[in-house]
Amino acid sequence: MKLAVALLLFAAVGLHGQAAPETIVERLTHAPIPAEQKAQVRKALETRDYRAAAAILVRAIGANPKSADLLVLAAQVFFVDNNPANTAIALKKAEKIRPLNQDERFTLSMAYIGIGKGVWARPELERLAAADPPNTLYPYWLSRIDFDEHLYDAAIARLQVVTKSNPGFVRGWDNLGLSLEGVGKLEEALASYREAVRLNRDHRPHSPWPPLNLGSLLTKMGDLKAAEELLREAVGHDPKLAEAHYRLGANLHKQGKEDDAATELRRAAELDPSATEPLYILGQIYRNQGKTAAADQVFERFKELKKKRRGT
């Protein structure tokens, strides 16, 4: 499953309070920089021009390279600007000056995950979990690393504890479903997904992933109509999520609703031009409808993307 990593990580850190924009503005008040620069950074943050804010802070760090507070502040701005690599670099530099606090270390672990370095994030999260056992956010993210490393049983064990301790944690139930599905425990996975969907409907903002994951599994199990309703729910929660349109298109194709399926698959391809899966099914639909020229065009694009992935 491909997630919208930047939004998910930002939500995680926002929940923890460390990198929310309002927290950055508050921290800026005490930053060791001239009032004029503070005003410039504040204005950039208010307009969400995070790159401009980061550029000002980088210049300030150049004039005061031993300020851990400036480095942490820059890391927070880098993070909300979806730049996990620079986030990690700034925090590691700050750590050489003074120990990171709990929130800063969590941001560092999220930055590592953002650059695909779960192996670096794991010891940071384990350290945090040992220091704060009641906090379910740390074992949750450790379970995500377990899942990515195909350690499904370990992920299940963590998530069962997480959901028992925090039964309203939507993503905990959703990822427990993914892990159970990974080991073939489909009925248990369905139950976990259904709980995630139930909770998600009362949660704001709604996540598209619980209905998407449940709908995808029901599609695999042949309950196409029930799956379609859930996949439409996922699209409704996030109309710009290519995966949701693709899964809905694939479901409609299996039901023989070819025109509707083609609409969803075209939208998926528009939203994610690098995806091959919607193109393959769309090409099949066009071919079945006798639209030879359209099918040839789609399959040619499919082949080009496949070659690009192989690097040939």
Asked if residue 40 belongs to a domain, the reply is yes
Q: 77 and 50 in one domain?
A: yes
139-172: per-residue pLDDT in tens?
999 999 999 999 999 999 999 999 999 999 999 9
Residue 185 structural domain: 136-204
Domain annotation covers residue 184:
yes
Same domain, 110 and 5: yes
pLDDT digits (tens, 9 = 90+) for 232-287: 999 999 999 999 999 999 999 999 999 999 999 999 999 999 999 999 999 999 99
For 39-78, the pLDDT digits (tens) are: 999 999 989 999 999 999 999 999 999 999 999 999 999 9
Indicate if 102 and 183 belong to the same structural domain.
no
Residue 310 covered by a domain:
no
pLDDT classification of 16: cutoffs 50, 70, 90? very low
Same domain, 194 and 113: no
Do residues 162 and 57 share a domain?
no
Both tokens of 202, joined, read 């009362």
Same domain membership, residue 36 and residue 140: no
pLDDT digits (tens, 9 = 90+) for 196-205: 999 999 999 9
Structure tokens at 142: 């450790």
Number of domains in the chain: 2
Residues 53 and 88 in one domain: yes
CATH number of the domain within which 108 lies? 1.25.40.10
Q: How far apart are CA 151 and CA 196, in angstroms?
A: 21
Assign 273 to helix, strand or coil: coil
Q: Mutual orientation of helices 242-254 and 277-288 as an angle, nearest 10°? A: 30
Q: What is the pTM assigned to this prediction?
A: 0.85
Which stretch of DSSP H or E encloses residue 72? helix 68-80
Regarding whether 148 and 104 lie in a shared domain, the answer is no
Give the Cα separation of 263 and 266 in Å (integer): 5
51 is a domain residue:
yes
Residues 108 and 140 in one domain: no
